[in-house]
Structure 1
Amino acid sequence: MPELPEVETIRRQLEPEVRGRSITGTRVTDGLLVAPMTPARFAGKLKGRMITGLSRRGKYLRFELDGGDTLVVHLRMTGILTRLEENPRNGDQRHLRLVLTLDDGSFLAFHDVRRFGKAFLLGAGASDSYWARLGPEPLERSFNPKVLAAIFHGRVRPVKPALLDQQLIAGIGNIYADEALFAALIHPEKPAGSLSGKEIAALTKSIKETLRRAIRLQGSSIDSYRDARGNPGRFQNTFKVHRRAGEPCPRCGTAIEKTRVGGRGTYYCPRCQRK
């Protein structure tokens, strides 16, 4: 699933290209993407609207429209959002779910193999309450050890699923939780509320550093992810533990192990990350 670095990569690439552009056409080829709104109503709501900005909240892309509404796109498991110079009608139609035509003649195309992605409109009055359900952004300056300690206080669940809980912290997914926990030398099954002050500080730092490094490398392409230009990310080439079961730990040489924590495949070093 595209996580914070992948979504932020797409946002940074698209924002200067779409800001100030108007939507002149909308083609929905899969009604599931925009349900419960009908494709015709969805297209009608977007016709002629100007994109005034593009932001991100957690794993969501937010196209801010004139009039105060927001077009929200969630890539979910296999969604790919790309900017094209040529009409996608002339290319591969497999898995194409949505095409937005912009007034400069370019196109935004949404492909999704597994059809879990969503696109929907939020009215100006509903936006604040909708986003309030997500936790803080880990790359904000305000996200510090004190904030993380308050989030984890009293929680007995393992730290790995706590990091993945979008109501606690927005945007972190399986890849970056594994990598951040390894960098902080914290076992993924350790209860979140039991972390020491030193561990909280180390984890806060490793979360920020891991996410920033992944953004610099345009995210991770393990399966289907591509950025807004159709290129794969490169962070997967730097994984320390994720997807490296059986390989030597880059820090101590012990074989990386794979287990399941909170139902998710989890990679860690049993020597560096002791319970």
Structure 2
Amino acid sequence: MPELPEMETYRSQLNERIAGRAVAAAEVGRERTVNVPVDQFIERVQGRTIERIDRRAKMLLFRLDNGDTLLLHLMLGGSMFYGTTEEAPDRTAQVTLSFGERKLFFHGLRLGYLHIYDEAELTEKLSKLGPDPLDAGFGAEEFAAALRRSRGALKTALTDQSVIAGIGNCYADEMCFAAAIKPLRRMADIAAAELRTLFTAMHSTFAEAIRYGGYMESPFFAGDALTGGYNDRCKVYDRGDEPCYRCGSLIVKTESSGRKVFYCDRCQR
């Protein structure tokens, strides 16, 4: 499932290509992907200018010039492609937005969605999310205070979107490895100094992941050399039984609260 770095990569690439452009046509291939009747969705989107694309947690917000917002959550299996029909992958698009010759294809939204909201509806929809990890006002103290409200394992707290919004399975494990903290530890047993280290590790992990385009391997456009570049740079995630880059011990793969967890038993305290 795409997490903060993947959606940041999409956000920057989308702003470069479609911000300030009008939607020439809108097509809905799967009615359940949108939250209003298809005819109404098309009427509210078609002809509108996309002023900019923002990110909130793991979601993207396409800001339209009439005050509406398209809220995208890719969930598991979702992706986007921008280009001509000939360039696009041979996949069924649940929604397609046309910008002349080039189109924005939304693929794999069987679990995900592209909903349209007015300002009040959007505020209500996002109201239960925790703070964004990259917000300027979200410092080490706020980070620690947010996590301290959880009583379970560190991995569970990090991936709870009502606690901190934007961290998922992959980057929770990666930042714990960077901080040398085992993700299965109980929050009550983690010292304040360790949480400060984890806060720094979160920022360095996200910075590297964003710089290399996240871990999603599906290119966003023809010739895309950025998207998915972090996939080969993961230190622990999805590397069960492979040697640790630090010490050579085999990476442990287990589960916690139904989530996969990867860590090095020697390097992480």
Aligned AA for 1:204? F
Q: Following TM superposition, by how much is the alpha carbon of 1:227 offset from its aligned partner in structure 2, in angstroms? A: 4.3
For residues 91 and 155 of structure 1, do their structure 2 counterparts lie closer, same or farther at Cα, with a shift above 3 Å needed? closer
- Counterparts of 1:56-135 in structure 2, within 5 Å, are 56-84=55-83, 86-87=84-85, 94-102=91-99, 104-112=100-108, 115-135=110-130
Question: Residue 24 of structure 2 corresponds to which residue in structure 1?
Answer: 24
Note closer, same or farther for the CA distance 1:267–1:17 as it changes in structure 2 (3 Å cut): same
Which digits, 9 at most, give the CA deviation of each residue in 1:45-87, with x for residues without a partner? Answer: 1121111111000111100011211011111111111211x23
Letter of the structure 2 residue corresponding to residue 95 of structure 1: T
Q: 2:164 aligns with which of 142, 164, 169?
A: 169
Equivalent of 2:196, from 197, 201, 206? Answer: 201
- Which gives a bigger RCO, structure 1 or 2 (Cα 8 Å, sep 6+)? 1
Q: 1:166-205 deviations in whole A, cap 9, x for unaligned?
A: 1111111111011100111111111123321111111101
Task: Tell me the amino acid that sits aligned with residue 61 of structure 1.
Answer: L
Question: SS of 1:248's equivalent?
Answer: coil
Residue identity in the other structure for 2:85: N
Q: CA-to-partner distance for each residue in 1:105-130, whole Å, 9 max, x for gaps?
A: 32111111x61120111102222232
Deviation at 1:91, TM superposition (A): 5.8
User: What SS class does the counterpart of residue 262 from structure 2 fall into?
Assistant: strand
**Residues 196 and 92 of structure 1: is their aligned pair in 2 closer, same or farther, counting only changes over 3 Å?**
closer
SS at match of 1:249: coil
Q: Aligned partner of 1:229: which letter?
A: F
Q: Does the CA contact (< 8 Å) of 1:11 and 1:54 recur in 2?
A: yes
Alignment partner, residue 228 of structure 1: 220
- Contact 1:155 1:191 (8 Å CA) reproduced: no
**What is the DSSP-based 3-state SS (H/G/I as helix, E as strand, rest coil) of the residue aligned with 1:125?**
helix
SS at match of 2:267: coil
SS of corresponding position for 1:99: strand
CA RMSD in angstroms, aligned pairs only:
1.8
Task: Give me the whole-angstrom Cα distance separating, in 2, the residues matched to 1:5 and 1:42.
Answer: 29
Q: What aligned pairs does 1:256-275 form with structure 2 within 5 A after superposition?
A: 256-274=251-269
Identity %: 36
User: Could you tell me which amino acid in structure 2 is paired with residue 125 of structure 1?
Assistant: A
Structure 2 residue matching 1:177: 3-state secondary structure? helix
The whole-number CA distance in structure 2 between the counterparts of 1:91 and 1:265 is 32
TM-score, scaled to structure 2 = 0.93
2:145 to 146, 150, 172: 150
Aligned partners of 2:82 and 2:88 also within 8 Å: no
Q: Is the 8 A contact 1:218 1:227 kept in 2?
A: no
Gap change, CA 1:121 and 1:187, over 3 Å in 2: same
Equivalents in 2 of 1:92, 1:168: separation in Å?
36
Give 1:273 deviation, angstroms: 1.6
Instruction: Say if 1:23 and 1:154 are closer, same or farther in 2 by CA, change over 3 A.
Output: closer
TM-score by structure 1 length?
0.91
What amino acid does structure 1 have at the position aligned with 2:228? G
Q: Distance in 2 between matches of 1:155 and 1:75?
A: 26
Deviations 1:214-252 (A, max 9, x none): 11111103xxx4243254411121111112122222222
CA distance in 1, matches of 2:88, 2:203: 39
- Shift >4 Å, 4+ stretches: 90-93
Partners in 1 of 2:45 and 2:234 — Cα distance?
40
Change (3 A) 1:134 1:184: same
Q: In the alignment, residue 22 of structure 2 is paired with which amino acid?
A: S
SS at match of 1:190: coil
